[in-house]
Amino acid sequence: RDELLGLISDDERGLRSQKDKRRKERILRAFEALAAESASSDGITTDSRLSGTWRMLWTTEKEQLFIVDKAPLFGTRAGDILQVIDVGENRLNNVITFPPSGAFVVASTMEVVSDKRVEFQFTGALLRSDTWSLPVPPFGKGWFESVYLDEHIRLAKDIRGDFLVVERAPYDW
């Protein structure tokens, strides 16, 4: 766990490793080692511990990294990138914040389908600031598997083969 967190600590949420194949390979090896360690325990990652506000530390997802990289072109910067999960209510929201008060929020319904896998269906999206909001139609569905989960960190893989490392945020969204 510490090895992975050390490797991603200065990776700008995944931007640097997208341009450095060896760096990305080292990160993914550490990711897979931690996932294998989790698989040897009870392996359940879709219980109530999954609920909460999770802040992205690192990802391979190109759309999120594009927003992180290009937000300054629009006069802003990407703040926290969050997954807000409520297992009991079958709700998943993906949020990209744009300080001081903007956000892009994608709402989804979700269903736990196995000890590790969650399937989701987008239900809507909203780009907003203090003074305006722009609804965006829902656009798809998918799944993710949490391959490691402890009280502070979660690792996930998704339907497109992307990897995600998140930490439990110090606040609720």
Over the stretch 11-43, which tens digit does the pLDDT of each residue have?
999 999 999 999 999 999 999 999 998 865 667
| Structural domain count, the chain | 1
Judge whether 53 and 172 are in contact, CB under 8 Å: yes
What's the rounded Cα separation, in Å, for the pair 57 and 85? 16
Residue 63 lies in a domain: yes
Residue 140 lies in a domain: yes
Q: Residue 44: what pLDDT?
A: 80
- The CATH number given to whatever domain includes residue 108 is 2.40.128.280
Q: What is the pTM of this model?
A: 0.93
* Per-residue b or e along 101-136, where b marks 16 or more CB atoms closer than 10 Å to that residue's CB: ebbbbbbbebeeeeebbbbbebeebebeeeeeeeee
Residue 162 lies in a domain: yes
Give the pLDDT confidence of 94-149 residue by residue, as tens digits: 999 999 999 999 999 999 999 999 999 999 999 999 899 999 887 799 999 999 98
Residue 64 lies in a domain: yes
Angle at 42 between CA 41 and CA 45, to 5 degrees: 110
Judge whether 119 and 113 are in contact, CB under 8 Å: yes
Residue 94 lies in a domain: yes
Strands 81-86 and 52-59, bridge-based pairing: antiparallel
Q: Residue 41: what pLDDT?
A: 67
Residue 11 lies in a domain: yes
Q: Residue 106 belongs to what domain range?
A: 2-168
Amino acid at 100: P
Residue 145 lies in a domain: yes
